[in-house]
């Protein structure tokens, strides 16, 4: 196929530039998940739109009785299950159609770091990721928008070369205090390298 001549956008912008309700909802998601700008949100929405479109197309082809559609459905469900968006087990094409943008945003590296109490805020998690303080297994990951597969989630830890990997670091002590101050129902299970309560 060759190299593409021009880089193209991988997302779609909203149809109308000014809708107060949509803009307020976008602002809430930006603050909750620590996104840099609305472009990151639009990318997640476009990604979800593509996945749901593929699921609708497969549903129609399955009704027509195509054997290839069954294989493609199995691959789509396996990919989304590996990503951790769908539950392991008996996921169906209808489960794909019920996915929301937040389901994809919850798989972002920065949100998982914050949710596992490895960083004080989503924005703080983003900054620490870009500065190279976290790794998945042996690989340092510096992309906050990386969608973490569920198999790799347990291998997230502070990077061995990071000053934050020291348990006696002042920031780690502050994170432990914050974790102890949170109600029990709100606390997430600790991960390898996470502060223990």
CATH classification at residue 117: 3.10.290.10
Asked whether residue 168 is assigned to any structural domain, the reply reads: yes
Q: What is this structure's pTM?
A: 0.86
> What is the average per-residue pLDDT within 136-142?
96
What is the Cα Rg of the chain in Å? 19
Q: Are the C-beta atoms of 95 and 118 separated by less than 8 Å?
A: no
- Same domain? For 115 and 60 the reply is no
Per the structure, how many domains does the chain have?
2
Q: What is the DSSP letter of 169?
A: -
Residue whose tokens read 């976008």: 26
The residue among 58, 76, 104 that closes a domain is 104
Q: Which residue has the tokens 């593929």?
A: 54
Q: pLDDT per residue over 10-43, tens digit each? A: 999 999 999 999 999 999 999 999 999 999 999 9
State which residues form the domain around 68: 20-104
Measure the CA–CA gap between 24 and 36, rounded to whole angstroms. Answer: 16
The pairing of strands 139-140 and 156-158 is unpaired
Both 99 and 152 in one domain: the answer is no
pLDDT score for 185: 56
């Amino acid at each position: 196929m060759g190299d593409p001549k021009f880089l193209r956008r991988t997302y779609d912008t909203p149809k109308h530039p000014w809708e107060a309700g949509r803009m307020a909802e976008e602002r809430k998601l930006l603050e909750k998940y620590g996104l840099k700008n609305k472009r990151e949100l639009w990318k997640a929405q476009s990604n979800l739109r593509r996945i749901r479109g593929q699921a609708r197309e497969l549903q129609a082809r399955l009704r027509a009785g195509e054997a290839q559609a069954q294989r493609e459905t199995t691959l789509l469900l396996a990919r989304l299950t590996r990503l951790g968006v769908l539950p392991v087990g008996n996921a169906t094409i209808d489960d794909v159609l019920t996915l929301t943008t937040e389901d994809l945003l919850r798989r972002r590296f920065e949100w998982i770091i914050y949710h596992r109490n490895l960083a004080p805020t989503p924005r703080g998690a983003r900054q620490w990721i870009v500065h190279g303080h976290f790794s998945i297994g042996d690989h340092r990951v510096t992309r906050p928008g990386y969608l973490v597969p569920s198999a790799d989630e347990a291998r997230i830890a502070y990077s061995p070369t990071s000053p934050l990997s020291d348990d006696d670091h002042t920031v780690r002590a502050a994170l432990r205090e914050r974790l102890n101050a949170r109600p029990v129902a709100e606390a997430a299970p600790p991960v390898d390298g996470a502060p223990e309560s």
